[in-house]
A and B are shown apart, each in its own frame.
Chain A
């Protein structure tokens, strides 16, 4: 206890003297960034998950063509889950001598369990957010319904045999799906009115959706209870299963957030290690004196450990507070992009930030502190006596354990984490060797250099080991910065490429061959840009190599889904632009083949275990068609262009009845064209996906903003390392500078020497950083983020120059005192 109070008293004096400022600042920045990122990522993830739940109007949804058995409802009750249900079906509405195929949706009183509806009275301007559907006797409709049926709010609309009063216009519906029922003009009614419409008869085509909400654990239990009880026509959906595009965007964003937080913690760790090293070195004399005064080795160790514990707690608490403020500010900045209800900060994220602070402080600062107990007391007589360096096992072991734990938290794969770490250290060792070789060789240059360059190079060579560690530290920091920057840029580019500004937002199906020329003309006249027109033949895959597919597919697989329904088969001589052959050859290389050929999508092929050369049997109408698989394609499904599991060469399917499909971009202001189009071509089905796309784009732009801010955090932490590194060498530089000035060196020479030394350090660190970055980015893109790797030649031009510039500026600023303080003061203080 007495030792603790002594530690506190010494610490107070140290803090007052400013000795600990850099270390405490480095730690506060580390904890601020890690807490802010941890909190921000956690809140963003939970908000996005909630928002994803909004898309489903529940946390978990079961879709079924029939009502669910009563026992399922009871089971949901046992798990304390809330339940809402919707029934969706198509129905023809006839009013004012106008006819419209509408998507009717009957919703229960609890709908929507998650998310909200937006409704308005007359126009889109005054929208109102509600958390319930229409009341008894009411119908809410999309605006299009009113114009198509020449009606207005307050009119009575007959749905089947039930007249309902139109009371609101629906402008937003959370769980709008991309199927026929959802994308036809919406009419929403109360489920208690459903029976009175008498539309639903036995055998009617209805889709029921049962939405559940509740605690995650209970939902998971319920999900695992219902999964084995589902019949083939039923599906259970959550965010990952139901929205593949959003799912993958979320997953990548999560991975990026994880990556950024590791990067920031790692570079902050380097800053702490450097600051702690300087602190330790400045305390060799104090330790020697304390030992001289009778302190035992362990007492000295505990004295400093206590002090660091107190520093750790105080700085982590401050960092947590600052982190909390920083993330609040981020959410404030992003308020326009985020949903109004953002998930609350979780205590776990704050505790994580706090614990991270303590762990990184000791992980990176303990090895230097351990040196303090090794200081020989004889140092009071002989200043040149240095304590033995802390065992390399402890230094690297601790740092590696922490980095390993961080990577593991991110990858959740111990083998992969170990591999990343192993390769990383190997790389550092090899590069360390290369730098050592380079520096040793550069000694030959010294006689040929002018004075400034000679002093600069000698500055690097004097403490070769120190220069190597400094270059590696700068390199690692630059790698982290490059990584955060490049991955961010490529991730955002990839998203933007995925959904360009004028990505198609409507699909037109069932275009008959005789309608095709005039339909195309119609779009052209209205300056609507569209994708290619593909013929579609409906057919079902029934056999693979003469074995019925039902015997091959596994339950719940994509293959099972594909074999339970008719597939859209198409033919084309040109491969769709967002497809890529991964096995086999396209038709042009198989011109001599006379038998029917087919190209299959990669994931379906994998799911059904279909290989090149397999014979697939389809039924088309009442006829059978055999085709040999000659290529497997990777398809990018989320481009909003028509895509197909099965593509045939021209000539195979031409004889079968077929329609055409296309997609096109219709801007908001041309939306009214849709009614004209539907009137001119009543048989054509138009699917409107613009609302879904808008929601998706909003989420992507939110992510982009968030990711930009994380980049700034990483950059801030990076600059902190640079400062810490420069300051860690300040004492030696100040001393050398004072001696040189005493011997007659002028300020200009010293300034030039320092600047050149830092420029050299920065330039070579930049080159090394690029070598490491390219390797890491390649592995990251190939194995983790699944992005396409591109060699970035611009980086090779920019980074070494930028490294030289940044390190040069920071270094020059850091050591400005060397030339500004009178040598006599410097020498007296030493």
Chain B
């Protein structure tokens, strides 16, 4: 893995001159243009902006789910923009956790199995124990053997939170984590998210429309038409 010559203990994500352009029938479409962003370890940061402003694209790029058209991204000391997809997968496996608006639980697996999955992929031997602990932590002890379609939206998102935190990730990316939930359930999820974040000292990068949620983060970045403002 290629490492940065300049080691910095505090900087966990560094994006320079980040651009994403896609070809359309009407010519190239610039989704992101020259975004520069530095995120410090343990920091919580909210990316806000109108629909289509490029928030999710930026999140996808920072998490290594997609490759930029231009620019570099460094996570810890690794330039993920120099890596192929399999290299980025390894970075995700080692350092990153995710929470999504649509929960993204595997429908065939129970709550417990969904939480165990990332540990299984890491060949972790204590996967059942750790997963049960996290599900206890999100108050789903009674729901271990339930499948996603037997759980409410809030319960599904709590399973997703448990799955995200079970690997004690260095960075957690959250895409509209309360977008599919009513306000009361959303608040409960946010509480849990920030509690777990606090406990595990995770760096949190979240995309949201919700000003209340954004305001709980230490820093807010606003995007407009693919540019940071």
Contact = CB atoms under 8 A, between A and B. Distances in A.
B100 A13 contact: no
Interface in B71-105: 85-86, 88-94, 96, 98, 100, 102, 104
Contacts of B107: 17, 829
Interface string A274-308: 00000000000110111111111110000000000
Contacts of A298: 86
Nearest to B153: A828
A19 B107 CA distance: 10
B86 A297 contact: yes
B92 A381 contact: no
Size category of the A interface is: 20 to 34
A294 B149 contact: no
Nearest to B163: A293
A296 B89 CA distance: 6
Given A294-B89, A297-B85, A829-B149, A380 B100 contact: yes
Interface string A1-41: 01000100100011011010000000000000000000000
Interface string B174-187: 01000000000000
Contact of A378 (B66, B120, B122): B66
B100 A294 contact: no
B148 to A, nearest CB: 9
A36 to B, nearest CB: 32
B60 interface: yes
Contacts of A17: 107-109, 147
**Residue from B109, B123, B147 with most neighbouring chain A CB atoms (10 Å):** B109
A376 interface: yes
B65 interface: yes
B56 A381 contact: yes
B154 to A, nearest CB: 13
A544 B59 CA distance: 95
A382 interface: yes
Contacts of B66: 376-378
Contacts, number: 86
Pick from A2, A376, A378 the residue with the most CB of B within 10 Å. A378
B221 interface: no
A381 B59 contact: yes
Given A14-B108, A381-B100, A295 B65 contact: no
Nearest to A290: B121
B49 interface: no
B65 A296 contact: no
Contact of A295 (B60, B109, B121, B175): B121
Interface residues of B, number: 35
Contact of A294 (B59, B93, B110, B113): B93
A295 B65 CA distance: 12
A293 B121 contact: yes
A291 B89 contact: yes
Given A9-B120, A14-B108, A293 B59 contact: no
Contacts of B147: 17
B74 to A, nearest CB: 18
Interface string B97-133: 0101010101111100100011011110000000000
Interface string A374-399: 00111011110000000000000000
B227 to A, nearest CB: 20
Interface in A205-246: none
B65 A289 contact: no
B121 A380 contact: no
A828 B107 CA distance: 12
Nearest to B98: A292
Contact of A296 (B90, B102, B110, B122): B90
A13 B148 CA distance: 13
Nearest to B148: A829
Given A293-B92, A296-B86, A377-B89, A286 B120 contact: no
Given A2-B123, A294-B94, A378 B60 contact: yes
Contacts of A294: 89-94, 96, 118, 121-122
Contacts of B100: 380-381
A292 B85 contact: no
**9 pairs of A and B residues whose beta carbons are closest in the complex:** A294-B93, A17-B108, A296-B86, A377-B65, A378-B65, A378-B66, A294-B92, A293-B118, A296-B89
Given A292-B65, A296-B90, 4 more contacts: A292-B98, A293-B121, A378-B65, A382-B60
Interface of B: 56, 59-60, 64-66, 85-86, 88-94, 96, 98, 100, 102, 104, 106-110, 113, 117-118, 120-123, 147, 149, 175
17 contacts: A17-B108, A19-B108, A286-B106, A286-B108, A288-B104, A291-B85, A291-B89, A291-B92, A293-B117, A294-B96, A295-B93, A377-B65, A377-B89, A380-B98, A380-B104, A381-B65, A381-B100
